[in-house]
Amino acid sequence: MAIFFQALIDGLLTGGIYACVAVGLSLSFGVMRLFNWAQGDLLMMALYMAIFLIQGTGIHPLVSILVVGPVMFVIGFFVQKFLLNPLVIRAKEREPLSVLLTTAGMSFVLSNLATFLFTSNSQSVTTPLTGRSINIASMFISTPKLIAFVVALGLTFGIQLFLQKAEWGRALRATSQDREVAQLMGMNNKLLYCLAQAIGFACLGVAGGLMSPIYAVSPSTGATFGFKTLTIVVLGGKGSVPGALLGGIIVGLVESFGGFLFSSLYAQIIVFAIFALVLFLKPNGLLSKDRG
Amino acid sequence: MSKTLLKDKIAPKHILVLALLVLAFLFPQIVTQPYFIQIAITVLIYCYWSSAWNIIGGYAGQFALGNGVYIGIGAYVAVLFHQEGFGSPWIGMVLGGVISVMFAFIISKPCFKLRGTYFSLATVAFLHIVRYIILGFNSIFGMETNGGMGIMIPYTGRWQDMQFGKEGFYYVILVMLVLILVVSNVIRTSKMGYYLSAIKTNQGAASTIGINVPKYKMMAQCISAFCLALGGAVYVHFLLNVSPYDVFGYDLSLEIMIYCVIGGSGTLWGPVFGALVLGIINETLRVQLGSDIAPLASAFYGVALILIVRFAPGGLYQLGQMLINKIKGSLGKKKSETKEVSVQ
Amino acid sequence: MLLNVDNIYVSYGDFQALHGISFHVNEGEIVALLGSNGAGKTTTLKTVSGQLIQSKGSISFNGEDISQMPIYDRVKRGVIQVPEGRRLFPYLTIEENLIAGSFLKNNRMKRKENMERCYAMFPKLAERRKQQAGTLSGGEQQMVAIARGLMSNPKLLMLDEPSLGLAPIIVEGIFETIQNISRQGVTILLVEQNVSFSLEVASRIYVIESGENAMSGTGEEMRNNADLQKTYLGI
């Protein structure tokens, strides 16, 4: 019984981190139909940043978030401005092929660059949080995971609030629903796209910081998380922040229970199978009717 | 057709192709070091696979990023067929092709209902599912597959077991490449090719004017899957080993797409061009700078892809055409029309 | 002259949609662009608002050349388009749609004030302000679309086929609203297929055919000339 709850808690907490990673992709896909195939590798980049930062300066992982988050924000802004906007702005199709190719190219560049620079060995860092856990009723709740979950929750809540109440957040929602008309309201879609992407990248930065006491990073981290992330986005529905949270938790739970009932490999297969099912049956996500 | 002189029918480019063909066939006789022949084999198989992918990705415009899965299916079926004693790997290869087509049919039917990104994602999802299944189990349907360790193919050296020498594999794969180029050309210049390009341009419009869109997409996909599978079967016999990391890699799937696009997807020679140029660069770098350089080279291809997509979407093929036209122009000959390639 | 469109050529890829369209709109007027389907009316509006860029010709607004300006800069200056087919943000509420209309900084300041005026003009909308826009009827959506346009403090309000797909009674209401708005000092450029209402309302009329100017005249002239009406407007 205790094992069941252990798996439950574990899956839930991990799900929070996954959600953090997926929010950016969901925004990007929702606001500008831009599916970033490099999302996983960008997470890898953020994780490397966080880990090296902590290794080099010894700061606390939570502090690293304050550095890596904003750095990723700026990177995301300019990646959108110079690399992606030119492809999206004047494109005739809703989802130009050039975006797929460019982001797939980015993914290729990042993972290979990482392999070249860091070899395929994994890097990790020991922090004041690593390995710590809270003991409740004979269950071990990993401290860093708990903190990560709380932060991720706060982050997704904050972004959702931003989208609902803030001027620019509303503008993002309007743009995602009808980008031509949004322009007629005076919304500068080039700027809005940069904002959306920047927020997404910043979330990756935060996720990197949160993950640094928990995970090791290697060039294949991108691939591992990449597919998880897009499963979450499809499950949760593009553009939906609560959806990303829900999707993240579902995937986290499936992996946790799958791993404990069968093996982690089976768990992966189940995740993919769920992905395929959702893709064909409910491509707009489990929460289909609810948007932004 | 009225009587035309033979010389009017043969364009300079036909002569070029013929010359290339002769050169290609003579290559192993001229360059005899096994090391170079081995490089050539790798380059050739990529040319072949990129051309096979081009049929669905380039001609039909359906970005099936997960099509690498058929390479794996072809490979495994051929090897297992022989290993379990059902017969020669040649038959296994054909069976692998057939099974790949079956998979393609079953998988692609729902996939084609999806548009754009979702379609590509779905094909990749299946690639991963199959890969994890192979990785996860040590035997499938009672046949030993060794999961991640892969299967070693015992060396016999007999052509009946699909084992030739290095030279042999070179010629076999070269012939396959020629064949797929012939098939591609036939498709390109036939009614099917016309329909596919209409589908590629605007699926909705194509369907309104009466083109059976699902049928032709499926045809292209099945041909592609079949050819990819054959290549997979042959190549693993060259490697004498089949493992999910080699043949079910997402990286492999991505690579053949990248070579195709960098070379010029949707054209006959583009994929060959791309795989050739990049393959040669790859190997040269490896020789000069050691195999640690390989990921850096790959990173550069990623950059090249991004640049090409932005500035020369027709790939190296388009760049080549522009160059040729510039040369023709400056030589005073009548400037041939530069086709405007629509920027995506 | 508030708006001056001078000899614009616009094409969609290889297809030349407009060949040298010219017209102008004076402050306080209601000008109607009439023509059959596909004549180029919507294309013209889209070029004025900035959704399309002309290959030749120029557009000036309030004495300023806006030919190359991005959409949001034109909106800043008060060039507001209410697009064809309403095009509300389907998953935003009526109120949120109106708020979206006043996105720009200077419009935000007048937001409350403008919203009150809109609700006064369209009381039905006030009742349902929290309803999702996608669930409204055609007529209601058109009201929201116009209101949303008003939230942007237009100097020039361009309406693209506001009567499209609406029942005649509703259309009457729409045209009343348009006259109302005009009386409040907003200049109006109207693109319409519904000729009879346009004739009643417009101060001046341009007829466009196959991307070119076919004829123009004051509302008075067009209303009184049955021949003109028959030749160019198929009445």
Contacts of B306 in chain A (CB under 8 A): 83, 101-102, 105-106, 109
Instruction: Give residue limits of the domains in chain B.
Output: 30-249
Residue A155's domain spans which residues? 2-281
Domain containing A58 — which CATH number? Answer: 1.10.3470
Over residues B296-312, the pLDDT tens digits come to 888 888 898 899 888 88
Yes or no, beta carbons of A185 and C152 under 8 Å apart = yes
Residues A47/A182, Cβ–Cβ less than 8 Å: no
**Is A174 within 8 Å of C89 when comparing Cβ atoms?**
yes
Burial of C84 (0-12, 13-18, 19+ CB in 10 A): middle
pLDDT at B64 over 80: yes
Asked if A95 is an interface residue toward chain B (Cβ–Cβ < 8 A), one would say yes
Tell me the pLDDT of chain C averaged across its residues.
88
Give B-chain residues touching A227 at CB under 8 angstroms: 124-125, 128
Q: Is the pLDDT of residue A262 over 50?
A: yes
Mean pLDDT check: name the lowest of A209-213, B7-11, B340-344.
Answer: B340-344
Residues 6+ apart with CB under 8 A from A85: A190, A193, A194
Are the C-beta atoms of residues A103 and A37 closer than 8 Å to each other? Answer: yes
Q: Which helix (H) or strand (E) holds B285?
A: helix B270-289
Q: How many residue contacts between A and C have a Cβ separation below 8 Å?
A: 65
Token code pair at residue C95: 């109120």
Tokens 């991005």 belong to which residue?
C70
Q: B180-233, pLDDT tens digit by residue?
A: 999 999 999 999 999 999 998 888 888 888 888 899 999 999 999 999 999 999
Position B115 scores a pLDDT of 78
CA–CA distance, A19 with A245 (Å, rounded to integer): 5
Determine the Cα–Cα distance for residues A151 and A44; give it in Å rounded to an integer: 19
**Is the pTM above the cut of 0.90?**
no
Task: Give the pLDDT of residue B4.
Answer: 56
pLDDT digits (tens, 9 = 90+) for B157-183: 777 777 888 888 899 999 999 999 999
Tokens of C135: 């669930």
Closest Cα to residue C45, out of C76, C77, C13, C17? C17
Q: Which has the minimum average pLDDT: A151-155, B52-56, B340-344, C144-148?
A: B340-344
Instruction: Give residues 129 to 148 of C whose Cβ lies within 8 Å of A.
Output: 148
A29 touching chain B per CB within 8 A: yes
The whole-number pLDDT of residue C232 equals: 63
AA letter at C232: Y
CB contact under 8 A, C100 and A171: yes
What's the pLDDT tens digit per position in A154-207? 999 999 999 998 999 999 999 888 888 999 998 998 999 999 999 999 999 999
CA angle, residues C33, C34, C36, in degrees to nearest 5: 140
| A275 found inside a domain | yes
More confident position, C68 or A282: C68
- What pLDDT band is residue A291 in, cutting at 50, 70 and 90? very low
* Among B65, B118, B299, beta carbon nearest to A283: B118
d(CA C6, CA B13): 50
Q: Predicted confidence band at C233 (pLDDT cuts at 50, 70, 90)?
A: low
Q: Do residues C142 and C171 touch, judged by C-beta distance below 8 A?
A: no
Taking CA atoms, C195 is separated from A6, C168, C234, in Å, by 72, 13, 9
**Distance, CA of B48 to CA of B276 (rounded, Å):** 10
Answer yes or no: are the C-beta atoms of B274 and B259 closer than 8 Å.
Answer: yes
> Picking from A44-53, C74-83, C194-203, which range would have the lowest pLDDT averaged per residue?
C194-203
Measured CA to CA, the distance from residue A39 to residue A35 in angstroms comes to: 9
Q: Do A173 and C92 touch (CB under 8 A)?
A: yes
d(CA C122, CA C140): 9
C residues 25-64 lying closer than 8 A (beta carbon) to A? 49-51
Chains that touch C (3 or more CB pairs under 8 A): A
Across the interface, of B114, B295, B306, the residue whose CB is closest to A115 is B295
Whether A211 and chain B come into contact, CB under 8 Å, resolves to no
Instruction: Say if A291 falls within a structural domain.
Output: no
In this complex, the residue of A167, A171, A292 whose CB is nearest that of residue C91 is A292
Query: Is the distance from CB of A30 to CB of A24 less than 8 angstroms?
Result: no
Distance of CA C202 to the CA centre of its chain: 13
A vs B, Cβ pairs < 8 A, gives 114
CA distance B138 to chain A (A): 13
**What is the distance between the terminal CA atoms of chain A, rounded to a whole angstrom?**
38
Q: Is the pLDDT of residue A238 over 50?
A: yes
Nearest to A186 among C88, C92, C104 (CB): C104
Average pLDDT over residues B7-25: 78
Tokens of C208: 């466009």
**Bigger pLDDT: C107 vs C31:** C31
Per the listing, tokens 């009879």 go with: C196
Instruction: Tell whether the model's pLDDT for residue B3 goes beyond 60.
Output: no
Compute the distance between CA of residue A251 and CA of residue A268 in angstroms, rounded to an integer: 10
- Does residue B18 sit in helix, strand or coil? helix
DSSP states along C122-170 = -HHHHHTTTSBGGGS-HHHHHHHHHHHHHTT--SEEEEE-TTTT--HHH
Give the pairing type, strands C156-160 and C187-192.
parallel
- Mean pLDDT, residues C153-161 taken together: 93
Query: In this complex, is the C-beta atom of B323 within 8 Å of any C-beta atom belonging to chain A?
Result: no
Element (H, E) at C61: strand C56-61
The CA distance from C233 to the nearest CA of chain A, in Å, is 30
Contact status of C11 with chain A (Cβ, < 8 Å):
no
Most B CBs within 10 A among A32, A37, A94, A97, hence the mutation to make, goes to: A97
CATH code, residues C1-78+186-235: 3.40.50.300
Residues 6+ apart with CB under 8 A from C105: none
User: For chain A, how many structural domains are there in total?
Assistant: 1
Distance separating alpha carbons of residues B174 and B42, to the nearest angstrom = 11
* CA dist., res. C223 & res. C229, Å (int): 8
From chain B, pick out residues whose CB is under 8 angstroms from the CB of A279: 114, 118, 121-122, 125
Question: How many whole angstroms separate alpha carbon A127 and alpha carbon A139?
Answer: 22
Q: Are strands C204-209 and C15-25 parallel, antiparallel or unpaired?
A: unpaired
